[in-house]
Amino acid sequence: MLIELAHIFLIISFLLFSLQIFISIDYANFKLRYSVFDPIKKLSIISFILIVFAFLILIIGYVNSDFSVLNVYNNSHSNKPLIYKISGTWGNHEGSLLMWLSILSIYGLVFISLIKRVSKSFSFKVLFTLGIVNAGFIAFTIFTSNPFIRTFPVPEEGLGLNPVLQDPGLAFHPPLLYMGYVGLTIPFSFAIAALLEGEVSSSWAKLVRPWILASWIFLTLGITLGSWWAYYELGWGGWWFWDPVENVSLLPWLLTTALLHSVRVTEKRDRLKGWTILLAILSFSLTLLGTFIVRSGLLTSVHAFASDPARGIFILSFLVLITAGSLLLYATKLEKIENKKSIYLISREGGLLLNNIFLCASATTILIGTLWPLIIEIITGTDISVGAPYFKIVFLPLIFPAIFLSGVSINLNWKKTHLEDIYNKIWKLIAILLFFITIYYFLFGGPLLILLGVAASLWLFTSILNDFLNKLMEKSKFSKIKFYRVKKIRLSTYGMYLAHLGVGVFILGVSLSEGMKTYYEGVKTVGSSVQLSKFDIKFEKLERLKKENWLSETGIFSVERNEASFQIKAERRIYLDTGMPSSEAGIKRNFFSHLYIVMGQEQPAGSGKRVIRVYHNPNIILIWLGSIIMAFGGVLSLIDGKFKSGFLRKPRTKL
């Protein structure tokens, strides 16, 4: 009964949104009818609440293992632990769509609660846009991906979740990621509203920035969690595979990062308006594109849900409608919103403009590489694959200049900066940097790329330190450091420092782990040993056990290096309901490094020889640590914006 209620809720919210769109337009004059603002607002609130309830009801269905619901039957099992029953709700296509809708609803409700900050005409346009997006997604859910369909007769047991998804990392990776993706709908709606108003002001930028920041933080965390999960669960010692679906999550992140920087320029200097609007539209469009690619079956990957051409066509039409419509609106209104003021290249806004260009260029190359197999297949019919080597070649050359610029821009002022000022500020920076690079090279040597990577991270660290010290010092003299100024520096500036520090830590992690990692693979019998990076690893024994819903084969390894000795267990699981194997790598941490052992199947079968893979990944944790620091920096900026400028207090000029 409850399920039918949820179904009705969905249908009602769809009808309400459609109604909203219909009555908002004054067809005679082809304008929006502002008189219906209040009813629209109330209808939106109702629809949002109904959607959230529908989602909660589905979760209840999973918790109760109600197999009369087709979706629950297909994706759950009564033996699953409670937390995985709950996360199973969104571990499938239909359920995850409903979660998407619920998150969008919550964002919508938050927006409505803050609606007094903006003028009616503006918020009306935002709600109008949100209504269209919602209507489209709900329609897609109801007509092609309905989670509330019943099945008869009621099966006794569910078909079980893919065991690979029964994992804490993976349970939380979709919600976090979705909070990022879905959140981009708000900046998108703001951008459309601004285009419709024909004006992009710095007040607008101030208002939209917290939303962009929030989405960015969630996207960063979501992607990081996914990468971390892939590392310890897939057993290949890697943390990024340039898988099409990974790429497709990276694209919105890159553009949102550019958007974050661009909107700051619009806020502070009333420039780059066209860029900001375009970035807001594109980052949301890439989110839709990502959804499309994953759910339409166009690309096969670890992530792809079951394929269905009907779904594909629906999302494609929706994607085309929204994106082409917005881009057309952008092109037609661009002249009206852009101002003719120029930008000095040698200034913070100049640096950020270049940053925009670099980030967009990297996003474009990744997009091309991801779609290239598809394009070639249509044109020539050949089947090709574009893998990691391509992405590394095109992505890295773009990142280095961007990092260099980043370090420079942190030290630049808004408006024009005189070259002498720069010289004063930066020569110390360069001196320190060269010093560290020389030391590193003498200590470690190493391939050029790794050296460049370490140099890039050191550059960022010293840039941040340099700007920080300059803010504390009077007349750039070390003797006159005023420590009381630490408190005077805005929280958002610390946020910025921390975020870029995070980037530096991330790059350091990537460079060091890629440069110094070692790997062994082979077949070994119990009792034999492996030597890797001064580790002496002995395959002590193999234990076989039956666990709740899997068969466990655990390899026990004793490891020795220098004075230290410890044990690592690497497990291979075979799940009883599906027969699928999975590996649980044995990972031993030492500061930021990992020794990582995976035990696979017998090769050949029955010989007693086991496939063993051992990875030593020095400093790899810095990769995820860096990302978390980045996100944390974002949080600091968000809090600052919240208490100091436009978020809670009324803006000085109403939009």
Three-state secondary structure call for residue 340: coil
Contact pick of 27, 30, 113, 385 for other proteins (by CB under 8 A): 385
Task: Rank residues 285 and 417 by Cβ distance to other proteins and give the closer one.
Answer: 285
Nearest of 524, 522, 562, 563 to residue 542 by alpha carbon: 524
Contact pick of 1, 28, 378, 448 for other proteins (by CB under 8 A): 378
Contact pick of 546, 548, 562, 563 for other proteins (by CB under 8 A): 546
| Least distance between other proteins and beta carbon 72 (Å) | 12
Of residues 567-586, those binding other proteins (CB under 8 A)? 572, 574, 576-581, 583
Buried b (16+ CB within 10 A) or exposed e, 36-51: bbeebbebbeebbbbb
| Least distance between other proteins and beta carbon 317 (Å) | 9
| Least distance between other proteins and beta carbon 491 (Å) | 35
Mind giving me the DSSP string for 584-597?
E-EEEEETTEEEEE
Is the CB of residue 451 less than 8 Å from the CB of residue 440? Answer: yes
Buried b (16+ CB within 10 A) or exposed e, 480-509: eeeeeeeeeeebbbbbbbbbbbbbbbbbbb
Q: Is 543 in the site for other proteins (CB under 8 A)?
A: no
Q: Is 198 in the site for other proteins (CB under 8 A)?
A: no
How far, CA to CA in Å, does 549 sit from each of 82, 103, 116? Answer: 14, 33, 54
Contact pick of 292, 318, 592, 624 for other proteins (by CB under 8 A): 292
Contact pick of 14, 62, 73, 148 for other proteins (by CB under 8 A): 73
Mind giving me the DSSP string for 234-262?
HSSS-S----HHHHHHHHHHHHHHHHHHH
| Least distance between other proteins and beta carbon 582 (Å) | 8
Q: Which two tokens stand for residue 342?
A: 């120029």
Of residues 325-344, those binding other proteins (CB under 8 A)? 327-328, 330-331, 334, 342
Whole-angstrom distance, CA of residue 284 vs CA of residue 552: 44
Nearest of 266, 111, 254 to residue 189 by alpha carbon: 111
In this chain, which stretch among 123-131, 152-160, 243-251, 455-463 interacts with other proteins, using CB under 8 A?
152-160
Contact pick of 82, 389, 475, 478 for other proteins (by CB under 8 A): 389
| Least distance between other proteins and beta carbon 584 (Å) | 13
Contact pick of 278, 568, 621, 625 for other proteins (by CB under 8 A): 278
529 phi, psi to nearest 5 deg: -130, 160
Contact pick of 8, 46, 83, 375 for other proteins (by CB under 8 A): 375
In this chain, which stretch among 116-124, 390-398, 462-470, 586-594 interacts with other proteins, using CB under 8 A?
390-398
Contact pick of 26, 39, 522, 529 for other proteins (by CB under 8 A): 522
Is the CB of residue 185 less than 8 Å from the CB of residue 218? Answer: no
Residues 259, 260, 262, CA angle at the centre, nearest 5°?
60
Residues 113, 114, 116, CA angle at the centre, nearest 5°?
110
Q: Is 79 in the site for other proteins (CB under 8 A)?
A: no
Whole-angstrom distance, CA of residue 44 vs CA of residue 47: 5
In this chain, which stretch among 41-49, 290-298, 403-411, 415-423 interacts with other proteins, using CB under 8 A?
290-298
Is the CB of residue 362 less than 8 Å from the CB of residue 254? Answer: yes
Could you write out the three-class secondary structure of 395-451?
HHHHHHHHHHHHHHHHCCCCCCCCHHHHHHHHHHHHHHHHHHHHHHHHHHCCCHHHH
Whole-angstrom distance, CA of residue 5 vs CA of residue 53: 10
Contact pick of 249, 276, 285, 409 for other proteins (by CB under 8 A): 285
Is the CB of residue 467 less than 8 Å from the CB of residue 420? Answer: no
DSSP state of 33: -
Cα-Cα-Cα-Cα torsion 217, 312, 321, 255, nearest 10 degrees, comes to 30
Task: Rank residues 383 and 563 by Cβ distance to other proteins and give the closer one.
Answer: 383
Task: Rank residues 477 and 544 by Cβ distance to other proteins and give the closer one.
Answer: 544
Of residues 391-410, those binding other proteins (CB under 8 A)? 393-394, 397-398
Task: Rank residues 150 and 428 by Cβ distance to other proteins and give the closer one.
Answer: 150
Cα-Cα-Cα-Cα torsion 196, 197, 198, 202, nearest 10 degrees, comes to -120
Whole-angstrom distance, CA of residue 176 vs CA of residue 218: 6
Q: Is 447 in the site for other proteins (CB under 8 A)?
A: no
Q: How many residues sit close enough to other proteins to count as binding (CB under 8 A)? A: 83
Task: Rank residues 132 and 176 by Cβ distance to other proteins and give the closer one.
Answer: 132
Q: Is 384 in the site for other proteins (CB under 8 A)?
A: yes
| Least distance between other proteins and beta carbon 609 (Å) | 5
Whole-angstrom distance, CA of residue 464 vs CA of residue 392: 27
Of residues 583-642, those binding other proteins (CB under 8 A)? 583, 600-601, 603-605, 607, 609, 611, 613
Whole-angstrom distance, CA of residue 573 vs CA of residue 583: 6
Task: Rank residues 493 and 601 by Cβ distance to other proteins and give the closer one.
Answer: 601
| Least distance between other proteins and beta carbon 506 (Å) | 24
Spell out, one character per residue from 93 to 122, where the chain touches other proteins: x when CB under 8 A holds, - when not. Answer: ------------------------------
Q: Is 564 in the site for other proteins (CB under 8 A)?
A: no
In this chain, which stretch among 70-78, 555-563, 628-636, 644-652 interacts with other proteins, using CB under 8 A?
70-78
Task: Rank residues 575 and 632 by Cβ distance to other proteins and give the closer one.
Answer: 575
| Least distance between other proteins and beta carbon 320 (Å) | 5
| Least distance between other proteins and beta carbon 555 (Å) | 14
Question: Would you tell me how many other CB atoms lie within 10 Å of the CB of residue 445?
Answer: 10
Spell out, one character per residue from 27 to 66, where the chain touches other proteins: x when CB under 8 A holds, - when not. Answer: ----------------------------------------
